[in-house]
């Protein structure tokens, strides 16, 4: 930029300098109206804290009085409430001490948080909370974190717990116009007027008081949480299972809620009394289908009267069945372990067995592993189950057996993170990486199958300056010395091909794989 030709007089230069200084002072100055507003907020929060404290005292006194009357029932909750009070008072006192330290830093040893003189002091809060070796701000943040974890563990209500967690959050905060978030203590106390810092600390005390109150209220409610209150009597049918296989047994308990064990009700089903006084209703299921039944319970009362409580239910009788599915694929592949899911509804896994043709079937916990032997020949899985003491066939499923799909050939090398990586061609690879690679590998890695193949041999094809192909043959999976010599002669941008790749997999079938194009970077 060209230098200005306008020459300023010394007087004009002084005026300009004074304007700059005045502007800076105005930018740093905090309006007295704003400071007065903080004072009003501080007074309101202080009154609220006192009111909440009195409310918390009343809740604690209720719990204390109940424990005196019933120590066995109330002692554990009173002990927890006492710990809540102790830790709340400890954190509250810590915050009080920090308010006093900030005010005395600004006003001197006689400073009083209730009567701040230098309310607009922008340094005292930062000096006390952020500088020096005491790390008061960090100490406060850790104390709030510990208190928040403790107090929220006593609040089962997810909404209240989330509210307390948000109110006592000390997560980093990014101020508008800044790039990186600040620590909680820096965002709260850096460049804050004394009156604002004190008000923020009083607000934190307010949050502590409310969190304490929620925890005490919950502890008081827990005193009667284990009591059982009965205000309604109903009849219930509790079957062991609504699904019954043909030949199996249907069992159900018919009970009256809040029944008196000294005067059990009389149970009628289809107007006939049930023989079992405990309400066990069972019979042999002889045919398939859906069936309904109903009845009522007669309850005798102390005044000689009886009441009738009707009930109804249903059950389903089905043919024996089972579910057999290939959890990894719709077909079985020869030569590998195929996970199989076998389940029989209503029958425990210990009572289920299975066999397979054209291969082996073995149990692995609650799942099964099928390993077919011949490609092109179907495998049949037969499932049997022990039901009510007798073994019966419940399912027969047939699967097609296929050979494994062709794998992909690749060069294995060590990546920048130290982990093995696979180069499958079509993009540049550094000459150093290529020289360090031992040879060629092959595998299926399509997210469903992850199966390694053995490379039996391959051929590399290079091209000279005249375009003539120069093949080099490798026996096995390793690069030959002649092939590596060819690698060494390659310049940047050159390419060669790996073809006639022969590989064999777990199914014992040899196959020729697609060629790999290698581009030297």
Q: Closest Cα partner for 242 from 388, 323, 395, 346?
A: 346
CATH number of 235-318: 2.60.40
Q: Residue ranges per domain, the chain?
A: 27-224, 235-318, 323-402, 408-520
479: number of Cβ within 10 Å: 22
pLDDT of 475 over the 70 cut: yes
The residue whose two tokens read 């990014």 is 174
For residues 360-370, average pLDDT = 90
Q: Closest Cα partner for 217 from 84, 65, 70, 88?
A: 84
Residue 185 confidence class, pLDDT cut points 50, 70, 90: confident
pLDDT of 177 over the 90 cut: no
Enter the tokens of residue 447.
Answer: 């997210």
Enter the tokens of residue 310.
Answer: 């009707």
pLDDT digits (tens, 9 = 90+) for 210-241: 899 898 988 888 876 544 344 456 677 777 66
Rounded-to-integer distance, Cα 180 and Cα 384, Å: 65
> What are the backbone angles phi and psi of residue 412, rounded to the nearest 5°?
-85, 130
Rounded-to-integer distance, Cα 215 and Cα 1, Å: 68
pLDDT of residue 3: 45
pLDDT digits (tens, 9 = 90+) for 14-50: 545 554 444 444 344 455 555 655 666 777 777 888 8
Rounded-to-integer distance, Cα 473 and Cα 457, Å: 8
Residue 496 confidence class, pLDDT cut points 50, 70, 90: very high
Q: What is the distance between the terminal CA atoms of the chain, rounded to a whole angstrom?
A: 46
Alpha helix positions (H), 349-407: none
Strand pairing class (332-333; 359-364): unpaired
**363 or 365, greater pLDDT:** 363
pLDDT of 464 over the 80 cut: yes
Q: Closest Cα partner for 408 from 370, 380, 449?
A: 449
pLDDT digits (tens, 9 = 90+) for 256-285: 666 565 567 889 998 889 888 778 888 887
Name the class of domain 323-402.
Answer: mainly beta
Helices first, then strands: H and E counts in the chain: 10, 26
Q: Closest Cα partner for 478 from 419, 437, 426?
A: 437
CA distances in angstroms from 279 to 248, 249, 255, 297, 310, listed in the order given: 20, 16, 6, 10, 14
Specify whether the CB–CB gap between 402 and 331 falls below 8 A: yes
């Amino acid at each position: 930029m060209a230098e200005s030709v306008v020459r300023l007089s010394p007087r004009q230069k002084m005026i300009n300098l004074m304007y700059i200084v005045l502007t800076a002072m105005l930018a740093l100055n905090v309006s007295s109206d704003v400071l007065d507003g903080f004072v009003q907020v501080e007074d309101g929060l202080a009154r609220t804290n006192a009111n909440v404290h009195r409310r918390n005292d009343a809740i604690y006194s209720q719990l204390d009085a109940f424990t005196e009357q019933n120590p066995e029932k109330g002692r554990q909750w009173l002990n927890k409430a006492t710990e809540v009070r102790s830790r709340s008072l400890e954190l509250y006192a810590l915050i009080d001490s920090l308010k006093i330290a900030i005010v005395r830093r600004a006003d001197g040893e006689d400073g009083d948080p209730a009567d701040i003189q230098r309310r607009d002091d922008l340094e005292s809060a930062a000096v006390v909370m952020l500088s020096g070796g005491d790390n008061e701000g960090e100490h406060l943040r850790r104390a709030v974190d510990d208190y928040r974890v403790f107090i929220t563990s006593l609040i089962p209500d997810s909404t209240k717990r989330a509210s307390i967690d948000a109110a006592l959050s000390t997560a980093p905060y990014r101020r508008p116009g800044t790039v990186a978030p600040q620590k909680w203590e820096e965002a709260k106390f850096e460049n804050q007027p004394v009156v604002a810092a004190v008000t923020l600390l009083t607000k934190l005390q307010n949050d502590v008081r409310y969190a304490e109150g929620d925890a005490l209220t919950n502890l008081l409610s827990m005193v009667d949480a284990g009591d059982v209150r009965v205000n309604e009597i109903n009849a219930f049918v509790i079957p062991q299972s609504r699904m019954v296989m043909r030949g199996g047994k249907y069992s159900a308990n018919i009970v009256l809620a809040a029944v008196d064990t000294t005067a059990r009700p009389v149970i009628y089903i289809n107007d006939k009394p049930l023989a079992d006084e405990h309400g066990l209703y069972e019979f042999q299921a002889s045919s398939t289908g859906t069936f309904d039944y109903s009845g009522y319970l007669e309850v005798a009362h102390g005044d000689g009267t009886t009441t009738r409580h009707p009930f109804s239910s249903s059950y389903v009788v089905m043919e024996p069945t089972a579910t057999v599915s290939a959890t990894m694929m719709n077909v079985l592949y020869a030569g590998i372990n195929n996970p199989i899911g076998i389940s029989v509804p209503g029958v425990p896994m210990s009572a289920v067995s299975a066999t397979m043709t054209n291969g082996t079937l073995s149990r692995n916990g609650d799942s099964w592993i099928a390993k077919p032997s011949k490609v092109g020949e179907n495998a049949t899985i037969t499932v049997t189950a022990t039901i009510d003491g007798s073994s019966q066939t419940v399912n027969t499923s047939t699967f097609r057996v296929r050979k494994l799909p062709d794998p992909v050939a690749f060069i294995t090398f060590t990546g920048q993170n130290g982990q093995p990586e696979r180069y499958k061609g079509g993009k540049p690879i550094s000459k150093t990486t290529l020289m360090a690679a031992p040879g060629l590998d092959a595998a299926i890695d399509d997210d469903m199958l992850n199966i390694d193949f053995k490379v039996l041999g391959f051929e590399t094809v290079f091209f000279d300056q005249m375009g003539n192909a120069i093949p080099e043959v490798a026996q096995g999976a390793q690069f030959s010395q002649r092939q590596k010599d060819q690698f060494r002669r390659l310049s940047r941008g050159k390419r060669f091909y790996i073809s006639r790749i022969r590989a064999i997999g777990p199914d014992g079938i040899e196959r020729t794989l697609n060629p790999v194009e290698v581009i030297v970077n």
